Copies of this chain bind each other. A is one copy, B any other.
Amino acid sequence: MGNQKKVQQNTILDIAEALKLSPATISRALNDHPHVKHKTKSDVLKMAAQLGYRRNNMASGLRSNKTRTIGLIVPRISMFFHAEVITTIQNGLHKYGYNLIICQSNDSLEMEKELAEILLSSRVDALIAACTLSTTDFSHFDQLLQNGTPVVFYDRVPLNEQKAIIIKGDDFRGGYIATSHLAETGCKRIAHISGPLTSNLYQDRSAGFLKAMEQHKLSINEDWIFHQELTHTNAWEAMRKIFEGRVVPDGLFTDNDTSAIAALEFAREKGINVPGDLKIIGYSNDPRTSIITPAITTIEQFPDEVGKKIVEMLMDLLKNNGNIIGEKTTSITIPVQLIRRMTT
């Protein structure tokens, strides 16, 4: 690490000087403007390479009011579903020459607000957000929306938002097919470990659960319904409470796979036979569900499809200056699918 100060990078002026051309021409050549002679273009490109020139995005963005950068806020990148979605988005955007600033809210609303501000400061061309579980008020995104920056919500989304794009999984159907599957494989007494009802996800999955219970004429035991943060500890604790009772369930639907894993481990420790005495179904198709013994039945959410759809919508939007064109809808639902394994 030398003692040199920050050395200046070459600018278009350096290229202009070297080529005895004006900076305007250099800029045009670099941007592949149509009214530039072929030879000039190639001369400029050659000289740029030779001088190790790299466009200064700040100057460019300041002048043109376009950053070709898109912001992304997620609860945490380590959640399997999000990691997959992000990867798809990043690879997709890259093809169109867009960059992605990935931010983690750590599921903190305060952090989410701050990140929205920061991304506003960075003048991102658009924002993609999967909100925290406690985000019920989405007004911290209003400033973006108001100045015409497209906002795409996915996974955890606002319920009444007409100005933004909404992309979500079919959580109602997910809850419904999961519960129906339990009923169809013979479960009579089904428990549900759900996430907090502040989020659309768990509202919808719960509604699907209830619908399936009703259709299969199964009665609901309120002591077996939990709405809580979907952590390993919470799920274990819920299982402890459930199995304290005289009557115990023969089926369990959990709103994520971490909870399903915890439940399975609880069953293992207490000598409850799965799937014999208790059938379990999770949600998300986390890779861990296929590795654990017995492998857990779960609901696939197709993160790849979600990511692709986000990119597609975004590119459409940016091509049209943030305006929806024609009859395109602003709300998209991605199908889900039952992945049957050994716990049911």
Interface of A is mostly: loop
Quick one: which of B2, B102, B118 contacts A163, CB cutoff 8 A?
B2
Q: Are B147 and A9 in contact (CB under 8 A)?
A: yes
Contact partners of A135 in chain B: CB under 8 A: none
Quick one: which of B104, B162, B164 contacts A90, CB cutoff 8 A?
B104
User: A77 interface residue, CB < 8 Å from B?
Assistant: yes
Residues 162-185 of A, flagged 1 when their CB comes within 8 A of B and 0 if not, give 111100000000000000000000
Chain B residue, CB-CB nearest to A325: B1
Contact partners of A77 in chain B: CB under 8 A: 77, 83, 86-87, 102
Q: Are A99 and B118 in contact (CB under 8 A)?
A: yes
Q: Of A57, A61, A322, which is in contact with the most chain B CB atoms at under 10 Å from its CB?
A: A57
Task: List residues of A (142-176) whose CB comes within 8 Å of B's CBs.
Answer: 143, 146-150, 162-165
Chain B residue, CB-CB nearest to A148: B6
Q: Are A1 and B146 also in contact (CB < 8 A) when A65-B6, A122-B57, A293-B292 are?
A: no
**Cα distance, A5 to B147, chains bound together (Å):** 8
Chain B residue, CB-CB nearest to A61: B58
**Cα distance, A74 to B291, chains bound together (Å):** 26
Contact partners of A287 in chain B: CB under 8 A: 288
Q: Are B104 and A87 in contact (CB under 8 A)?
A: yes
Top 7 A-B residue pairs of the complex, sorted by shortest distance between their CB atoms: A78-B83, A6-B148, A102-B102, A7-B147, A58-B62, A58-B58, A293-B293
Q: A6-B65, A7-B148 are in contact. List 8 more A-B contacts (CB 8 A).
A: A6-B147, A8-B147, A57-B123, A77-B77, A90-B103, A100-B102, A101-B102, A291-B291
Residues of A within 8 A of B (CB): 1-9, 52, 54-59, 61-62, 65, 67, 69, 76-78, 80, 83-84, 86-87, 90-91, 99-104, 106, 117-118, 120-123, 143, 146-150, 162-165, 261, 287-288, 291-293, 317, 321-324, 330
